[in-house]
């Protein structure tokens, strides 16, 4: 839980203040330090320390794009504290706070004047180990020269479908606007506890994306002629799949809380960031 103290204004009115003593900062690669001078000046003036230990932090701040936010979100699994995502990338779909507004957002956070966007993780079990994905897991062939693969999908042990394709994407609602969307998958509202299955270049014309109950445990059987298939988790963790490997996925109870700069309008964000609904003909 975030570190909060209460300051009494009167017997009938109380104001909540979020203490910020230490922050965990995650930066994108090759970020010029001079772009953060004003922020570090603010930290020094307010006696806020930077810590590498997430357990000691009151807040996580990511400077970068949505990829940097994925790293920050995994850090939030170690301690239930919010992530303030500052956009220093290009799209900034989830990281929507501009660098010029970060100090103002810090002040709003301290005064408890902020919007929280909660996003649920996908829990992936690969053999005996568990991993968490904010966006998706992808089962795919190894490369351009690799053979097409067969992926059987089961939900709570019940056969769903067999995909003969370059691979499949299992996406959370958050991930539905990422790789899955570019592969033809549906946009899924983040408040839904649902998962989408999107095939990659399926051989059959009838293989279409499907949205399923996120409470169902998905399991997979993967076959290929050249034994060159891969499991990728959030674009960062990669395994070469063996025939005997066990893979499963289900929506987790774990969430990351992302601080937003204004009123949370999901459809407005889709229109602004993804140009959703715009005509392709001018």
Question: Catalytic residue positions?
Answer: 66
Strands 22-27 and 59-64: parallel
58: left (phi over 0), alpha (psi -120 to 50) or beta: alpha
Strands 59-64 and 83-87: parallel
The burial class, CB within 10 Å (0-12 / 13-18 / 19+), for 140 is buried
Contact yes or no for 61/25 (Cβ under 8 A): yes
CB neighbours of 278 closer than 8 A, spacing ≥ 6?
Answer: 271
What the block records as the tokens of 199 is: 């095939």
């Amino acid at each position: 839980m975030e570190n909060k103290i209460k300051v009494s204004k009167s017997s009938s009115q109380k104001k909540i203040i979020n203490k910020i003593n230490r922050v965990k900062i995650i930066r994108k690669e090759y970020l010029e330090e001079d772009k953060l001078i004003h922020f570090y000046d603010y930290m020094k003036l307010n006696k806020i320390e930077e810590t590498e230990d997430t357990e000691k932090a009151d807040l996580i701040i990511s400077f970068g794009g949505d990829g940097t936010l994925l790293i920050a979100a995994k850090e939030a699994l170690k301690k239930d504290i919010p992530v303030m995502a500052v956009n220093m990338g290009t799209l900034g779909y989830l990281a929507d706070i501009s660098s010029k507004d970060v100090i103002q957002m810090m002040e709003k956070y301290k005064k408890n004047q902020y919007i929280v966007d909660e996003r649920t993780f996908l829990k992936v079990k690969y053999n005996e180990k568990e991993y968490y994905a904010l966006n998706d897991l992808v089962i795919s062939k190894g490369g351009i020269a690799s053979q097409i693969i067969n992926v059987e999908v089961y939900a709570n042990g019940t056969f769903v479908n067999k995909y003969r394709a370059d691979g499949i994407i299992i996406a959370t609602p958050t991930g539905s606007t990422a790789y899955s969307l570019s592969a033809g998958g549906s946009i899924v509202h983040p408040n839904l506890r649902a998962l989408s299955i999107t095939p990659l270049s399926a051989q059959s014309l009838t293989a279409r994306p499907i949205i399923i109950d996120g409470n169902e445990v998905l399991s997979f059987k993967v076959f290929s002629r050249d034994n060159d298939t891969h499991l990728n988790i959030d674009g960062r963790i990669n395994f070469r799949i063996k025939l005997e490997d066990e893979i499963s996925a289900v929506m987790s109870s774990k969430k990351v809380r992302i601080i937003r700069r204004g009123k949370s309008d999901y459809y407005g964000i889709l229109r602004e960031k993804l140009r959703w609904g715009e005509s392709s003909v001018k």
